[in-house]
A and B are shown apart, each in its own frame.
Chain A
Amino acid sequence: DIQMTQSPSSLSASVGDRVTITCRASQSISRSLIWYQQKPGKAPKVLIHAASSVQSGAPSRFSGSGSGTDFTLTISSLQPEDFAIFYCQQSYSTPLTFGQGTKVEIK
């Protein structure tokens, strides 16, 4: 199974800050990486697929990069509604696996 490791596990940042979350795969997954945002009590929503393609309807302040084993999700200017947990997921092979999540708190 491919293990996905996110860092940090949590962070606190101010509105307007640039925020970066990293995700590392235990083996190369090329660009088969998806980012989701999950707000409390809700299902996850896809933000980024194919490592860097912004999902239709996702705010343009979200961007993704990386390939192989190392990936990043960047929020260019943090907004109050971005308080959430962010998950990465690999789609390279089954079992499909997720990172443990990164909780973003607003200062």
Chain B
Amino acid sequence: QVQLQESGPGLLKPSETLSLTCTVSDGSISSYYWSWMRQPPGKGLEWIGHIYYTGSTDYNSSLKSRVTISLDTSKTQFSLKLFSVTAADTAVYYCARWVYNSGSYYNWFDPWGQGTLVTVSS
């Protein structure tokens, strides 16, 4: 079954760029949307954005000016870049597959990666 695993630096300084990669194993990256979410410590979940296997993207407007999500189908990986980070970007970052059935209600995030904590501190 498909498994996702996030990787990337866990500590950044303010103004740096957050770069995370999600590796998709035991499954194809085709025909799905691939998403990033984040969860500040002790708080709720925020959708950052997603990329379709064709390369089209959609981002949360609250982060759109600072976010890029890209796809490497040859490596079955997708990546997140968040520019000019501040302490407010400290969170556990999750990657997940968005199971989307167009024109229906049958949509959900599954599976999720285990999450990776990124701390922004000077």
Assess the A95–B60 pair: CB atoms within 8 A.
yes
When distances are taken between beta carbons in the complex, the residues of chain B under 8 Å from A51 are 105
Is chain B's binding surface mostly helix, strand, loop or mixed? loop
Contact with A along B84-116 (1 / 0, CB 8 A): 000000000010100010001111111011110
Q: Bound state CA distance, A61 and B47, in angstroms? A: 28
When distances are taken between beta carbons in the complex, the residues of chain B under 8 Å from A99 are 44
Is chain A's binding surface mostly helix, strand, loop or mixed? loop
Assess the B108–A34 pair: CB atoms within 8 A.
yes
Query: Chain A residues in contact with chain B, CB under 8 A?
Result: 1, 30-34, 36, 42-46, 49-51, 53, 55, 87, 89, 91, 94-101
Q: Bound state CA distance, A34 and B47, in angstroms? A: 14
Q: Bound state CA distance, A76 and B44, in angstroms? A: 25
B16 part of interface (Cβ distance < 8 Å) = no
Q: Bound state CA distance, A97 and B46, in angstroms? A: 7
When distances are taken between beta carbons in the complex, the residues of chain B under 8 Å from A30 are 105
**Contacting A31 at CB < 8 Å: which of B45, B100, B105, B109?**
B105
Q: Chain B's nearest CB lies how many Å from the CB of A105?
A: 15
**Contacting A98 at CB < 8 Å: which of B44, B100, B105, B114?**
B44
Q: Bound state CA distance, A99 and B109, in angstroms? A: 15
Given contacts A1-B61, A94-B58, A95-B60, A46 and B47 within 8 Å (CB-CB): no
Q: Bound state CA distance, A36 and B94, in angstroms? A: 14
When distances are taken between beta carbons in the complex, the residues of chain A under 8 Å from B100 are 91
Seed contacts A43-B113, A49-B105, A97-B47; 12 additional CB < 8 Å A-B pairs = A43-B114, A44-B112, A46-B109, A46-B110, A49-B107, A50-B105, A87-B45, A89-B45, A91-B105, A96-B47, A98-B45, A98-B46
